[in-house]
Amino acid sequence: MKYIGALSALLLACSASAAIAQQPYPNKPVRVIVPYAPGGSSSIFTRAVTDKLAERLGQSFVIDNRGGAGGNIGVDVIAKAPPDGYTIGLGVIATQAINPHIYPRMPYNPLTDFEPIAYLAGTPNVMAVNPTTVKAKTVAEFIVEAKASKRQFAMASSGVGTSIHLAGEMFKLATGAPMTHVPYRGSAQAITDLVAGQVDIDFDNFPSCIEQVKAGNLRALAVTSATRAPQLPDVPTLQESGLAGFDVTGWFALFAPKGTPRDIVMKLNTEINQILQTKEVQDQFAVFGGDIRLMTPEQLGAFVKTEHEKWGRVVKEAGVKIE
């Protein structure tokens, strides 16, 4: 009788587990890894989409900020998570396309360890200076001032190897302007110190600095994209400022661990692309310079591969390394 009772209990437990497994995804909260500190553009774009996912799918999508190692720590959490759809996360231009070329020992492979879910947004970087420590009001004036200064201007970034850092390195290569790189663990503190005059210049993502530019706390000299940002129509591109071919656009996308079921990936892709087409989210992204592109998982995978190859060439030319 004891054996029969134990067997019955086991069968009931198995039946309950099977019933839960058969419930539509998601049937419990989903953890969303953001590989940078709170407050930057990564968190802004991710939360805008995951808040809507929670509303549409009836489950919490909980942001888990895991900064460090240029984003590698957080993205590695995504790669090593169970491939069941309950841990997904943000990959960006740095973690998926730049870091593999500058870190000698990568904990994950950006091309083989993930299931691409959906592209969220692309943003220009803004060449912004502290208006107290830097007198220049144009790129040309900045180059002259930097070369004539008795000290090297301090160039902040959200971390070594980020698109923010590499935009600055590309600028240095193109102009010969001497600057000392000061890496931070995220954009929020970098912008705070730039406003305070602790550093002089930053090539930060649009969402992280736009409000400070509009408030007059920072002076925007140029944007790094090939075209002007609609939110800063009077700010020229670096190409217009004399740097032919200069084009740096940061991007943000969601990924799942390799092996995550196809139906879950497609469900998230469909929901996210529908969210991105709503006026509310489009208006919200536009405030921060977000350029929305609708991609299938396959298109996102191909895009990442192209970016990976492109930035490998840039890193080699700039000589960027992690010591």
Give 208-258 pLDDT, tens digit per residue.
Answer: 898 999 999 999 999 999 889 988 999 999 999 999 989 888 899 999 999
**Rounded to an integer, what distance in angstroms lies between the CA atom of residue 305 and that of residue 190?**
29
Task: Specify whether 219 is located in the same domain as 73.
Answer: no
- For the cut 90, the answer to whether the pLDDT of residue 85 exceeds it is yes
308 part of a folded domain: yes
Task: Specify whether 156 is located in the same domain as 205.
Answer: yes
Residue with tokens 């993205």: 75
Task: Specify whether 130 is located in the same domain as 99.
Answer: no
Q: Quick one: which H or E segment has residue 180?
A: strand 179-183
CATH of the domain at 279: 3.40.190.150
290 part of a folded domain: yes
Residue with tokens 């209990």: 9
Task: Specify whether 206 is located in the same domain as 57.
Answer: no
Joined tokens for residue 144: 């002259």
Task: Specify whether 210 is located in the same domain as 131.
Answer: yes
Task: Specify whether 43 is located in the same domain as 105.
Answer: yes
What is the C-alpha end-to-end distance of the chain, expressed in Å? 67
8 part of a folded domain: no
A 10 A CB-CB count for 12 gives 10
Q: Give backbone dihedrals phi and psi of 206, rounded to 5 degrees, phi first.
A: -50, -50
A 10 A CB-CB count for 203 gives 30
Task: Specify whether 300 is located in the same domain as 154.
Answer: no
**Rounded to an integer, what distance in angstroms lies between the CA atom of residue 256 and that of residue 52?**
18
pTM: 0.79
Give 4-40 pLDDT, tens digit per residue.
Answer: 555 555 455 444 444 445 689 999 999 999 998 887 7
Looking at the structure of the chain, the number of domains it has is 2
Q: What is the span of the domain harbouring residue 212?
A: 124-223
Give the amino acid at 46: T
CATH of the domain at 170: 3.40.190.10
204 part of a folded domain: yes
Task: Specify whether 216 is located in the same domain as 300.
Answer: no
Give the amino acid at 151: R
Task: Specify whether 68 is located in the same domain as 147.
Answer: no
Task: Specify whether 113 is located in the same domain as 130.
Answer: no
